[in-house]
A and B are shown apart, each in its own frame.
Chain A
Amino acid sequence: MATQHSRSAARLMMAPAVVLLLGWMLVPLSMTLWFSFRKFLPLRGGDQGFVGFDNYVRFISSSSFWPAVQTTLVIVLGVLIITIVFGVLLAMLLDQPIWGQGIVRILIIAPFFVMPTVSALVWKNIFMDPVNGLLAHLWRAFGADPVVWLTDVPVYSIVMILSWQWLPFATLILLTAIQSLDGEQLEASEMDGAGFLSRFIYIILPHLSRAITIVILIQTIFLLSIFAEIFVTTGGAFGTRTLTYLIFQRVLESQNVGLGSAGGVYAIILANIVAIFLMRIVGKNLDA
């Protein structure tokens, strides 16, 4: 019986969790907002009072702002496209009955369990090193000049590292989705005269649309805040400075907490715009 009494008891019991969560979010959020309106230079005079929207104007008018936004978008979109395209292909491949299926699946999932810092270091030193890296050896084996990955094509190198990390996640989600596809539907479409490509376009892809949306949603949230991969590889040089990394540099390298906080508020706004878009799409897809 959901009586008045039991409902208020329920509220009472949920209260600690709700208060804790609110505190967890509200305290940092309000501190960020608070600092973003102040001139706060810890090593150069400390907290020097309110400056209105000065920090916001300076953050956005800085010559590094728009390139950072652009880099962020390129990295997020690049990784999304690569992981989804290859994720779908791998999922379809893994769905086939093959010998040693279990082991192959575990191998494919493995990169997801490697810590970001470690995987970035592995890529930087073992694969992408222009002298001793495996890729350099490969290039030389074909008589080509080794690519200096992190200097010549830094953004794409980072996209590659991130894709390697996130491909397992996408594959895993898409594989479970593919496995839930009714085999009779595929057989019916086969009898209806659909070739492989038509089956993919008209049956498999629509079936996967929900899983794809979920992959996009979750990956975007995590990709907007990547840090370790950039810190370890290029340190933000060569145009690999994302919004997150820019904020880090403002606060810790330039020791300007106010300016960094203003950047943080912009990042929150950006993340929310993305979230609203995604919610719309997901909402549309989930009720289908």
Chain B
Amino acid sequence: MGRIVLEKVKKSFSEVTVIPPLDLEIEDGEFVVFVGPSGCGKSTLLRLIAGLEDVTDGTIRIDGNDATSIPPAKRGLAMVFQSYALYPHMSVRKNIAFPLKMAKMDQAEINRRVENAASVLNLTDYLDRRPGQLSGGQRQRVAIGRAIVREPAAFLFDEPLSNLDAALRVGMRMEISELHKKLDTTMIYVTHDQVEAMTMADKIVVLRAGNIEQVGSPLELYREPRNLFVAGFIGSPKMNLIEGAEAAKHGAHTIGIRPEHIDVVEAAGEGVWSGVVGVSEHLGSDTFFHIHETGLAETITVRADGEVSLKHGDTIHLKPRADVIHRFDAEGLRQS
């Protein structure tokens, strides 16, 4: 069980309000990702849920019980820190067993659970090593192992992959998703990487300056961003945002069109944009062109097939797909 509900939760550090009153519901078994730019309060929110920070105001309910003033250890949550926070003087085995030892569990049960966690996480061969003798990915797994042996109601991850290299990050991403499927436990995951958010989440919470901008499944956020901030934050490369006359044609203050929703066409015509190719990024399967001098915006990014060959300085004609143009009003809110 791990249903977590935040009601009007607010957090201030002395005079500065980092989280204005905020409501959020996290269902049992859900994989929820908090994303947002640096300093927007993701870690603070996670630490409030963990109990490592006291809320200034509001209520946190875990499985229906008021947990606002319950100490962290009693909330039944486990946390994986960005720095792993392993105990350097203990072996991997002792690290993983530590929460069980603190819970005064009997030794046979501790051993069983540690062995179990180690085999799930491929750590069996490393149980007698110290954390200092492990690679980053292995340390990460030990930190996860220490979390899963407690069989918590929910896992909290604070940017757990940001210290790993790109390849390992993709691998660990899969492993964590896999783990979620296997354990079926609530997970709350903080990241500033929208790719991690899109690939792992059941539900994404987009935060800006402590405010929730939008909550929804990855595809909801991708298809129907509620405002310009979410539109610009979700999706890679970023959505093209166009103001002025072109937007007015669609009856909006700003229109947004994703790079993958623009087609490269042969000739100019009605509703076709023309521009000059700037930098192109070849990924093999796809190529991203950055187009200048369209008269619409500074640059327009377009995704084209990897086979399309256009050079720097060539003229290009673009046709946006009319059915996937996002329209926003002067306040930056989505127009249906």
Contacts of B51 in A (CB 8 A): 191
Indicate if the CB atoms of B87 and A184 lie closer than 8 Å: no
Indicate if the CB atoms of A191 and B89 lie closer than 8 Å: no
Binding site for A on B (CB under 8 A): 50-52, 71-73, 77-79, 81-83, 85-90, 98-99, 102-103, 146, 150
Indicate if the CB atoms of B89 and A193 lie closer than 8 Å: no
A114, B329: Cα distance in complex, Å: 74
Nearest chain A CB to B98's CB is how many angstroms away?
5
Indicate if the CB atoms of A206 and B81 lie closer than 8 Å: no
**Interface core residue of A188, A190, A198, A209 (most chain B CB under 10 Å):** A188
Indicate if the CB atoms of A206 and B85 lie closer than 8 Å: no
Indicate if the CB atoms of A191 and B87 lie closer than 8 Å: no
A202, B102: Cα distance in complex, Å: 10
Indicate if the CB atoms of B85 and A185 lie closer than 8 Å: yes
A187, B150: Cα distance in complex, Å: 16
Contacts of A207 in B (CB 8 A): 88-89
B interface, by DSSP: helix, strand, loop or mixed? loop
Indicate if the CB atoms of A184 and B85 lie closer than 8 Å: yes
Indicate if the CB atoms of A191 and B98 lie closer than 8 Å: no
Nearest chain A CB to B111's CB is how many angstroms away?
17
Contacts of B88 in A (CB 8 A): 207
Candidates B71, B86, B87; contact of A202 at CB < 8 Å: B87
Using CB atoms, name the residue of chain B closest to A206: B89
A183, B83: Cα distance in complex, Å: 10
Nearest chain B CB to A216's CB is how many angstroms away?
18
User: Could you name 14 residue pairs across A and B whose Cβ atoms are closer than 8 Å?
Assistant: A182-B83, A182-B85, A185-B86, A187-B52, A187-B79, A189-B87, A190-B52, A190-B73, A191-B52, A191-B78, A195-B102, A198-B102, A202-B87, A209-B89
- Interface assignment of A177: CB less than 8 Å from any CB of chain B: no
Indicate if the CB atoms of B73 and A193 lie closer than 8 Å: yes
A193, B72: Cα distance in complex, Å: 8
Nearest chain B CB to A259's CB is how many angstroms away?
49
Nearest chain A CB to B62's CB is how many angstroms away?
14
- Interface assignment of A203: CB less than 8 Å from any CB of chain B: yes
